[in-house]
């Protein structure tokens, strides 16, 4: 008697294809912004590494009174920026691990200073109020 063996390859291929299609049919989980950090009255989140995180952070900028975007002169994102914020009562320092920072600060006037790894520094005055402020710092 002659017995025909059936290959498992077509079944495995079909199973893999069905799994891939099922994962596409499920809604993708939205990228999340990095966790908020606190330093006195300052709450901040810095990130934006990768397209998903950058898109997520830029989408919620309107929810924060102050947003920072660090780029070079060609518009390329920069990270690892030292940030110092000085107000009338308090001052804050943190390292921006990504090109986008979302900040919550009490209303008031502040001096912001940002410094790149190679020592380029920018200082500017900002008044935080109920509106939204986006500052793009180009180095």
Q: Which one is the CATH code of 37-138: 2.40.30.110, 3.40.50.2000, 2.40.50.140, 2.60.40.1120?
A: 2.60.40.1120
- Indicate the DSSP class of residue 13: H
pLDDT of residue 57: 97
User: Binning pLDDT at 50, 70 and 90, where does residue 74 land?
Assistant: very high
Q: Phi and psi (nearest 5°) for 81? A: -105, 130
State pTM to two decimals.
Answer: 0.76
- For residue 68, CA distances in Å to 28, 62, 81 come to 27, 12, 11
pLDDT of residue 4: 43
User: Binning pLDDT at 50, 70 and 90, where does residue 8 land?
Assistant: very low
Where exactly are the structural domains of the chain? 37-138
- For residue 26, CA distances in Å to 12, 15, 136 come to 22, 17, 36
pLDDT tens-digit map of 10-61: 433 333 333 333 333 333 345 699 999 999 999 999 999 999 999 999 999 9
pLDDT tens-digit map of 78-130: 999 999 999 999 999 999 999 999 999 999 999 999 999 999 999 999 999 98
pLDDT of residue 132: 85
What the block records as the tokens of 83 is 């940030």
Beta strands across the sheet bearing 100-104: 37-39, 42-47, 100-104, 66-71, 133-138
């Amino acid at each position: 008697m002659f017995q025909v063996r059936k290959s498992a390859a077509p079944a495995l291929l079909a199973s893999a294809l069905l799994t891939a299609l099922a994962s596409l049919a499920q809604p993708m989980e939205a990228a999340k912004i990095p966790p908020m950090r606190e330093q006195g009255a300052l709450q901040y989140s810095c990130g934006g590494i990768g397209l998903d995180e950058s898109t997520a952070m830029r989408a919620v900028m309107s929810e924060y009174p102050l947003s920072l975007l660090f780029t070079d002169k060609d518009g390329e994102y920069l990270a690892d920026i030292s940030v110092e914020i000085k107000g009338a009562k308090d001052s804050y320092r943190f390292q921006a691990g990504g090109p986008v920072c979302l900040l919550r600060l009490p209303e008031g006037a502040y001096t912001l200073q940002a410094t790149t790894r190679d020592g380029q520094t920018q200082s500017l005055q900002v008044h935080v109020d109920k509106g939204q402020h986006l500052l793009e710092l180009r180095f």
